[in-house]
Structure 1
């Protein structure tokens, strides 16, 4: 166990080093304290949910691994989330999917009501957190030929439009009940495996379906929609109806949020470059939903780690002062390791990246750049890489009463032994 005295001593030394650059470490920790991550519930149960017991994942969704201890009931998942939240510094939110409804009635996705999520609202009140929402447009018999909202079949479209309407009402319920805006994310798997003849008509159908879905107004303080694109997916390699460009344009034209998922772009694209091209055109105060994931080769949704891609994402948001306009959520699923540990690793890595980005003389570096002093700029950015931000991170964890360093893993090992391995 890391000793408090050692943490404090290391922090004071780091604080002095950063002060020489004009960086206030206390202010950086305060800034990080205000950043809420949205923790994705589906890491805990491999995206099974509770609405359709025994249903198989389809629609380009797949989880690998069979590590013991998977959550199979609402209480198990809620308890696992509690364990994770207790080991992640700060106060955060949890993302739900529609399939996580808790109801004794047999219901389909187009029949869900806010009361079916009362379990989660009551739990969130106990945890003192907010909730975000996601429509479940996959793993369902009415995903026909990989089409939902853009289907040429009006009956299929109507089913999914109604599902979208239901999720909006549920998200509004979250916002009203918890006093925090609930982001309702929309992602659909629509597209073609091979080259289509008509690329425009499916997109026009999608526009019409989305417009109908969002027609009922809700108070933005309670909820808003965010639209998530993708380069391609399994079974739709040649054409994705809801592409990045489509949803970016749709979000901007409807004053909605756009979702950038770090795993949904070409492997050579730098996701962080896209923020500054989008924000100047977005009118909403909260304009971007970010799904932090880690693609390997492509959208494989590995557990987020403190790597170069994540560091660039954090720097872009912090240096351009766009954190306050961004909702940051996690989105990955790994069943080869302890599922609770996966939550903690990804969340803490994201917070580390943000903290490191905050611990920089940003105004001075911008001034150097404005003066075309690229020598000074390069020296500063290179030297910062070896500055002792880890000592500041340890202090941040200590101040939030969560274990420092690897100490949190002992909690998970004990929980495995006492709870997860007995399931």
Structure 2
């Protein structure tokens, strides 16, 4: 066995395994991951019970409906101004005389719920704002089903300092696949991790052919239905770069032993190559309910959580090398991951700002990575020897967002000059 640090996500370790029904807190319940998790819970009431829900506040009617169907004790919205609308929506969903769940509101509401009494916290929040809830759940000793990759990216050392071995169960389809494949062997026998990418809607295009792609084209993902930010990240392959950093942090595998391969069908979600030459691949039709079920139920599997293949039907599975010239995001992610410190936070924050600018029509598609690259270069090499703090992350993010907006505005002005 290897004497290197234990992986954060280790299928051989079951942290605080529970017998019977598990109490869950779902953060980001009205988003893509959250709504599918709610569906899974409603179909498996003997296995799971949701005690609390949180959402940003943009879909209070859906949040209220979820609260009623799940009979939760507490509901939270990040936008404090949406609390009155949430209360009214809850009154409309609950019967006369029925007690309403407790309502929490404000930017710290999800963090408070993450530390509440439960077995597992599913963090399905999008963006680096998920860091505080991730840290709160870990500090409280909860099992963390992690779909919010950004919190691990920007706060890697902070997360690793708090997490017990095996306390994190990854929910990303790629990392859930690696998690399951790694269960088949010992860590010392792992040669490499192979992370698959669909290639997004622009697979096969050159950099010059990407110059004029539109918002609508970037949001038309060929195999997955996701939120707009993650969908654009999949089109630029920034999402895959973030997943490389995440795999490194979750499994303590060096960057030079983590590969990315393009697999358009999205059937094989990732692979583990062992030292004897064998490769184990985890494969299902593209459906996030399978990875969510792993996150909520491990080490037990949830029957019929997601569709299975019909092996009687002929199909073709293809694999291609990554075009690093057209899609430089993976290489840049490896670079910032190796730098460590606040560099990943700068990369992620600059990208979030640039994606917003692209979706608003203020930045061309290729301008996303051009601007992120420039911001990362200006940030430079992080100072070494000083422990990372949450304040460091927030300061770096604020600087990166401001600088990304400045560079995006300058590029737009130049284009219209």
Same fold at TM > 0.5: no
Q: TM-score, normalised by structure 2?
A: 0.26
TM-score normalised by structure 1 residue count: 0.25
Q: Which has the higher contact order (CA 8 A, sep 6+)?
A: 1
